Amino acid sequence: MKYFSLKFLSSLTLIASICACVDRNVAGGISEETEGVVAITDKTIAGVSQKGPFAKGSNVYLKETKDDGSLTPTGKEFYATIRNNKGQFKIENINLESQYALLTVEGYYTRESTNMFSSCAISLNAATDLSKRNSTNINLLTHFEYQRILNLVKAGASFTNAKAQAEKEIFAAFGYEKPDRTAEDLDITGESEEDRILKNISAMVDKNFHTEYNITPCEEVRDVIDSMARNFADDGTFTQDLTAKIAAYTYAYQQAYQSKDTSNILSRYLNQYEGITCTQDKAGERHRLQKTLSIAKTEHFIYSDTSNKATITSKKYDYVYAICTSNDWQLRTKEDYEDTSNAIEHQVGSVTDSRDGKTYKTTSVTIAGKTYEWMAENLKYAGTSASNVEDNQKGIYTWTEAIAQSNSKIYSQFGKDSIYQGICPENWHIPTSLEWKALIEHVGSPSMLYSKNWDKFYFTGKPLNDIIEFGAEPTFFDWIVPETPSFTPYAHFIAYSLDISVYTQSTNVQSGLYNLDYSGDYIIDNEPLKTSVFYSVLLGSTPRLTEKSDIRPPYLIVSGETYNEYNYLKSMSEHVPEPQWTNEYSWNTIYKIFKSNALNLKVNVRCVKD
């Protein structure tokens, strides 16, 4: 069985109020089902009444219906009171001329949104076949399907068929496939998926589809329930406006609580009213909605002990775009997604690698009076290592392959303005960490370098404007360090440090963080790090990296505009103070410059012209 749940609402510890004022004297037409009618003798039924749980002393009524199967009340009723604040009830000594009975609960209840008793009384209904059960619950879903069942029976359907149709329709109206259990079996305190569906719907309606912290008055909720019941009774669906409210509300809370599931109500809504669908082959497609989906979200919630009052600031979000991702739909506002900025001035060109004849697109930008020409595609030179030709042709290298110093016996010192060719073509070099930072700051955001195809692999939620036609795409879809899984695809580019680099007779490359008149070991957490170190730039999201005894995890030295090496990277003074290090691990940030001693980590290469 497949369910599309609203699990984000299960995070809420509140309980809700759903009200409905329904006349207990409902007349029905003559049903075609008369042959199956049987009398009920000396029956006892038990159950729970919830929206949330009805208070002790609330009243429960069971009404007998005529033996013609029409669900017309005979006027005979059985009565009980709620036994505790859990909403439990029991009705004994039931004798009926038909097994079809109508149930109503009236009273106060515990609200999901306050965990306190409601300030107004409500009533909820249920229609049941007592020949098949000894227990029946009364809840919001039984209430919504109640009048729909009566209407279908009045139109000539049998009770069994009317009940099955109404239940299928009410679950579909909230974006779910009908579960095996009926609404009468569900309990908001239960642990099953179906029980959580009921709880989530109850909590959603209790807030009248608002995401703010404000408490909706009980009387308003009662009106909402009555309106929804009437709305559903005629044709088994909600109106477009109501469905849009449900879709926007569930989407907003799922995003807020980082739920992995997206309610199927959004997919159903977009398919029914916008005529669009989202499948794997449509990943990355963007659609401008005909009808805006709006939701108000709480921006700030400030409680004052002095005044004993809370100040709530809300902001309205108007979703006008639906983007198909590899998993489901994502919604974005006009401000989030439309390109409101002009493309940065740049020049597109090309370069041919004389070593293998491959031609690469390039893009040139001028930053602080200096022009930089970058490769706008990943280098795919196979090099001389036959064992790695397949990876190399995909543009994937180890750091030592990319730096082209796997077994150097050269001792060299480079000044601050040095460049290093590595595996790049002649007259091109491995970009430095400063060149990467300058480029990203120039375009304003790492996402401005993302190819418009990035959403086909993973939805970033960012405008994919690619304003200098850089074309960064995710290349890696597995772990960046063994046994530390990555949650999303990413691009991992090599960077080179513009400091003194010492190449020893070791098979590794040791890059020191020293000024011309400064030398010493790397200091991380007050511990010298004398093993090999390299720099890299990561675009996309990565896992939290776990420290291992044999691999020093990539240490984040730049995230956005944050520098953790003090003034080394931004100062040209003759003496650089002891480097300041961070042991902050990455967690779903967009742009990072790493330092690591794991030389076998895989990287992409974008070369810069000398």
Q: How confident is the model at residue 333 (pLDDT cuts 50, 70, 90)?
A: confident
Say which range, 181-195, 509-523, 582-596, has the weakest mean pLDDT. 509-523
Q: Is the pLDDT of residue 416 over 70?
A: no
Q: HEC states along 380-418?
A: CCCCCCHHHHHHHHCCCEEHHHHHCCCCCCCCCCCCCCC
Q: Is the pLDDT of residue 226 over 70?
A: yes
In this predicted model, which residue has the larger pLDDT, 552 or 480? 480
Under 8 Å between Cβ of 43 and 95: yes
Q: Is the pLDDT of residue 280 over 60?
A: yes
Under 8 Å between Cβ of 535 and 414: no
Q: Is the pLDDT of residue 587 over 50?
A: no
Contacts of 587 (CB under 8 A, 6+ apart): 542, 543, 544
Alpha-carbon gap, residue 455 to 326, rounded angstroms: 8
pLDDT in tens, 342-364: 568 899 999 999 999 999 999 99
* Distance set, CA 293 to CA 213, 455, 504 (Å): 20, 21, 62
Alpha-carbon gap, residue 486 to 309, rounded angstroms: 43
Under 8 Å between Cβ of 94 and 42: yes
Report DSSP letters for 483-545, one per residue. Answer: TB--SS-EEEEEEB-SS-EE--SSSS-EE----TT----EEETTEEE-S--EEEEEEE--PPP
- The three-point CA angle 523-524-529 to 5° equals 65
- Provide the whole-model pTM: 0.59
Alpha-carbon gap, residue 428 to 350, rounded angstroms: 13
Q: How confident is the model at residue 421 (pLDDT cuts 50, 70, 90)?
A: confident
Alpha-carbon gap, residue 104 to 102, rounded angstroms: 7
In this predicted model, which residue has the larger pLDDT, 329 or 372? 372
Q: What is the DSSP letter of 342?
A: P
Contacts of 49 (CB under 8 A, 6+ apart): 58, 60, 82, 87, 89, 105, 124, 137, 138, 139
Q: How many CA atoms, within 13 angstroms, populate the side-chain half-sphere of residue 541?
A: 14
Q: How confident is the model at residue 216 (pLDDT cuts 50, 70, 90)?
A: confident
- Mean pLDDT across 193-202: 88
Query: What residues form DSSP beta bridges with 296?
Result: 316
Q: Tell me which residue of 154, 124, 165 sits closest to 32, measured CA to CA.
A: 154
* Distance set, CA 340 to CA 214, 334, 336, 344, 463 (Å): 34, 9, 10, 12, 10
Q: How many CA atoms, within 13 angstroms, populate the side-chain half-sphere of residue 498?
A: 17
Q: Tell me which residue of 533, 503, 498 sits closest to 515, measured CA to CA.
A: 498
Q: Is the pLDDT of residue 579 over 80?
A: no
pLDDT in tens, 115-162: 889 999 999 999 999 998 999 999 999 999 999 999 999 999 999 999
pLDDT in tens, 73-99: 999 999 999 999 999 999 999 999 999
Record the tokens describing residue 504, joined without a space.
């020893």
Under 8 Å between Cβ of 449 and 465: no
